[in-house]
């Protein structure tokens, strides 16, 4: 079968980094291994929608990725355009958003079916069944709208327990040179699937993608993927972003095997990841640093125990202090991700967050407004309690965009919007100060100055501008 896997990319590219879609590239590998003809149709760099028509015109199956609610409109536009070019193909949508909202995805995009959740086995079965002339609408993980307009959702298959059995992403299909020329700084990779925690601003929607627990790849399998990538790109030193929800769910022994495997292969890494402060230990941070980890972004969210309780975060400010201390000790940059503007928050709660920051001394700070995204407990809570300011505008569902434009989608009973924005500016001024004074930031800047003086001067100018204006600048 001729399968076109379509990546529509983002609706608001200026607010979100450029990245290759690792999940979709894994699907490409699975289909290719089974003998199908796979094209990766990447709209990331298209100026005109019809530039890639030649790649989809004769496809039997078109699979479009929708990774977030914020991207649904773009996916719908791309799907409808391709269907006009090639009306005979089977149209499938998959990814994070269709896994959470299959019915809305089907109605908005006009796709024939959605494949929900982890799709390696389900997509292969759909394409194989289609090739054999069978009915794909009776298969597991598939949902569709019946001819009389009723939404039908089939049961799901069990998740794949042995993640090492999944092939590596088909990275040869990606035009990495163009990605890097347009600002991509690192390759994406995942070593786990799922997350066992309960944060209300995230769950339960994320369980609908990979299930509730966590599954882990072996360190050896991840090293093998890195070796393959190193050979493909002809690079012995790679920069990697591990996109796992919480890669630090691996024990310290896993990172030791990872470090040793890389050393044996003669490959060095500079990598970063997201994490929780309660899943690191001093020993783990040390071994992570030894394997090339240069930065950990921690979900701190708030310095107020009351607000952390509302988020069901399960971490404490004291755990954050320890995690940041270990990062400073082993020279790993520590980023604090914060959320302010939760309806129950008072001025004193944000003041507690600010005071915590002074204790953490982060190398970087990203301050978002608390955003109620559909499918998460926080959205249901905000709607039921009358705190949802706008439930229909998808443009308000992208926290990065809201942060840049300083807009929110929840009402604040205890604070004014200006009060929250004022705190954001104050935190961002502190961020600029840390950017100028933290040892690691100065060290990184000096390295940039040698490697790319223009970039280093630009970064310095942005930090100074941020300090003067109190608004975070993109650097």
Asked if 115 touches ligand SF4 (CB under 6 A), the answer is no
Give the single-character DSSP code of 164: G
Q: How far is the CB of 339 from ligand SF4 (least distance, A)?
A: 10
**Options 83, 193, 203, 376; binder of ligand SF4; rule CB under 6 A:** 203
The neighbouring-strand residues paired with 266 are: none
Sequence-distant (6+) residues with CB within 8 A of 66 are: 8, 72, 75, 93, 94, 95, 96, 97, 98, 105, 109
Residue 101 host element (H or E) = none
Q: Which C-beta is closer to ligand B12: that of 31 or that of 267? A: 31
Q: By C-beta, is 299 or 362 nearer to ligand B12?
A: 299
- Among residues 82 and 352, whose Cβ is nearest to ligand B12? 82
Closest CB 311 distance from ligand SF4, rounded Å: 8
Q: Smallest gap, in angstroms, from Cβ of residue 301 to ligand SF4?
A: 9
Q: How far apart are CA 270 and CA 275, in angstroms?
A: 17
Smallest CA-to-CA distance from 133 within 90, 79, 92, 93 is with 90
The Cα 320–Cα 318 span in angstroms is 5
72 or 308: CB nearest ligand SF4: 308
Q: Which of residues 190-219 bind ligand B12 (CB under 6 A)?
A: 190, 202, 205-206, 209
Residue 455 makes CB contacts below 8 A (sequence gap 6+) with 448
Candidate list 193, 276, 376, 377; residue touching ligand SF4; CB under 6 A:
276
Shortest distance, CB of residue 165 to ligand B12, whole angstroms?
Answer: 13
3-state SS class at 117: coil
Q: Which two tokens stand for residue 342?
A: 């939760």
**DSSP codes of every residue in 283-337:** HHHHHHHHTTEEEEEEEEE-S-HHHHHHTT----HHHHHHHHHHHHHTT-EEEEE
Question: Residue 253: CA atoms inside 13 Å, Cβ hemisphere, count?
Answer: 1
Told to check if 289 binds ligand B12 by CB under 6 A, we report no
- Closest by alpha carbon to 222, among 157, 292, 305, 174? 292
195 binds ligand SF4 (CB under 6 A): yes
Q: Establish if 4 lies at the interface with ligand B12 (CB under 6 A).
A: no
- Nearer Cβ to ligand B12, position 61 or 287? 61
For tokens 């990062």, what's the residue? Answer: 327
Residues 116-145 that bind ligand B12 (CB under 6 A): 118-120, 123
Q: Does 207 bind ligand SF4 (CB under 6 A)?
A: no
Binding-site residue total for ligand SF4 (CB under 6 A)?
10
Q: For ligand SF4, which residue of 125, 245, 278, 364 counts as binding (CB under 6 A)?
A: 245
The site partner of 246 among ligand SF4, ligand B12, none (C-beta below 5 to 8 Å per kind) is: ligand SF4
Closest CA to 61 of 88, 40, 81: 88
Q: Which residues bind ligand SF4 (CB under 6 A)?
A: 195, 197, 199, 202-203, 206, 245-246, 276, 299
Q: Which residues bind ligand B12 (CB under 6 A)?
A: 10-12, 16-17, 19, 21-24, 26-27, 63-65, 67-71, 92, 94-97, 99-100, 115, 118-120, 123, 188, 190, 202, 205-206, 209, 243, 245, 373, 375, 398-400
């Amino acid at each position: 079968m001729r399968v076109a896997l379509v990546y529509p990319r983002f609706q608001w590219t200026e607010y979100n980094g450029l990245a290759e879609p690792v999940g979709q590239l894994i699907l490409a590998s699975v289909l290719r291994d089974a003998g199908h003809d796979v094209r990766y149709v990447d709209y990331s760099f298209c100026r005109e929608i019809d530039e890639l028509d030649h790649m989809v015109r004769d496809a039997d199956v078109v699979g479009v990725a929708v990774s977030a609610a914020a991207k649904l409109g773009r996916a719908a536009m791309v799907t409808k355009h391709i269907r006009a070019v090639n009306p005979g193909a089977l149209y499938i949508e998959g990814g994070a958003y269709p896994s959470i909202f299959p019915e809305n995805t089907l109605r908005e995009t006009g796709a024939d079916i959605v494949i929900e959740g982890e799709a390696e086995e389900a997509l292969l079965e759909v394409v194989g069944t289609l090739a054999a002339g069978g009915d794909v609408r009776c298969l597991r993980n598939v949902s569709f709208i019946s001819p009389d307009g009723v939404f039908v959702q089939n049961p799901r298959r069990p998740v794949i327990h042995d993640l090492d059995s999944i092939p590596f992403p088909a990275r040869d299909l990606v035009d990495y040179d163009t990605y890097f020329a347009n600002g991509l700084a690192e390759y994406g990779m995942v070593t786990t699937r799922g997350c066992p925690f309960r944060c209300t601003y995230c769950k339960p929607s994320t369980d609908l993608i990979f299930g509730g627990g966590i599954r882990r790849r072996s360190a050896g399998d991840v090293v093998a993927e890195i070796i393959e990538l190193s050979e493909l790109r002809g690079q012995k030193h790679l920069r990697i972003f591990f996109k796992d929800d919480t890669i630090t769910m691996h024990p310290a022994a896993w990172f030791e095997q990872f470090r040793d495997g890389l050393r044996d292969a003669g490959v060095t890494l500079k990598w970063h990841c997201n994490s929780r402060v309660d899943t690191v230990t001093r020993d783990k941070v040390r071994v992570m640093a030894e394997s090339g980890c240069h930065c950990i972004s921690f979900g701190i969210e708030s310095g107020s125990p009351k607000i952390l309780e509302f988020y069901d975060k399960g971490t404490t400010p004291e755990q954050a202090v320890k995690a940041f201390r270990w990062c400073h000790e082993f020279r790993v940059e520590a980023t604090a991700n914060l959320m302010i503007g939760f309806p129950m928050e008072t001025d004193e709660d944000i003041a507690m967050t600010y005071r915590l920051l002074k204790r953490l001394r982060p190398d970087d700070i990203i301050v978002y407004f608390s955003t109620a995204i559909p499918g998460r407990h926080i959205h249901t809570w905000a709607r039921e309690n009358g705190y949802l300011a706008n439930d229909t505008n998808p443009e308000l569902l992208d926290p990065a965009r809201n942060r840049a434009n300083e807009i929110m989608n929840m009402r604040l009973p205890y604070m004014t919007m200006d009060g929250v924005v004022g705190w954001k500016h104050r935190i961002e001024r502190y961020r600029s100060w840390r950017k100028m004074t933290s040892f690691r930031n100065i060290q990184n800047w000096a390295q940039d100055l040698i490697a790319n003086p223009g970039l280093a001067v630009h970064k310095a100018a942005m930090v100074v501008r941020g300090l003067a204006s109190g608004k975070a600048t993109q650097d």
